[in-house]
Amino acid sequence: MAAHESASPAASPASHDALARLAAVIESRKPAHGGEPDKSYVARLLHKGPDAFLKKIGEEATEVVMAAKDADHGGDAGKIVYEVADLWFHTMVALAHYGFTPADVVAELERREGTSGIEEKALRKAEHRAIEERT
Ligand SMILES: N=c1c2ncn([C@@H]3O[C@H](COP(=O)(O)OP(=O)(O)OP(=O)(O)O)[C@@H](O)[C@H]3O)c2ncn1[C@@H]1O[C@H](COP(=O)(O)O)[C@@H](O)[C@H]1O
């Protein structure tokens, strides 16, 4: 059985703690904190630098899309969760490199809470129009 086919329980309400714990582990793998590239995958990615983990983000995002398309055609929908976990993990490595944590992303999502995407886009277009009219 592939890892993504294992029957895992739904995440608990406190599962965001897992993101905080993972962020702390990723932080501890930074070269400045003694991360060892020969022993740790995260340390290896951070040691290689942005090109390495940004490439992985691109690959994992594509794998999410492929898993979803497979599910649309009768494939195992559970694979989507497995691939999104890979994507989140690699984006967390990137966040750490650039000095951010999952809490920063959650804060941004909270800032957007209650603002419709359609409304936000209309506001943005109106702002662009106002700037263009002034220049
Ligand atoms: N969550 C993860 C995690 N998710 C995915 N991966 C690794 O990310 C890689 C994903 O790449 P692919 O699926 O493309 O597999 P691959 O073909 O082997 O990858 P590449 O050869 O392209 O690197 C695999 O090596 C996975 O093992 C992860 N590695 C680590 N973590 C977490 O990070 C912690 C620290 O890990 P280390 O730094 O390795 O100790 C671990 O305890 C985990 O909690």
**42-57 pLDDT per residue, tens:** 999 999 999 999 999 9
**Cβ neighbours for 30, distance < 8 A, ≥ 6 positions apart:** 43, 46, 96
Q: How many residues does the chain have?
A: 135
Average pLDDT for residues 92-118, to the nearest whole number? 96
Residue 123 covered by a domain: yes
DSSP 106: H
Same domain, 91 and 109: no
If DSSP codes are grouped into helix, strand and coil, which group holds residue 101? coil
- Residue 23 φ then ψ, to 5°: -60, -40
- Residue 12, in any domain of the structure: no
Residue nearest to atom 27 of ligand 1 (CA): 41
Q: Whole domain around residue 113: which residue ranges?
A: 102-134
Q: What is the pTM of this model?
A: 0.87
Instruction: For ligand 1, say whether the CB of 64 is within 6 Å of any of its atoms.
Output: no
Q: Report the distance separating Cα 21 and Cα 23, nearest Å.
A: 5
pLDDT of 16 reads 73
- Indicate which atom in ligand 1 lies nearest the CA of residue 42: 38
What's the number of domains the chain is made of? Answer: 2
Mean pLDDT of 53-70: 98
pLDDT at 23 over 80: yes
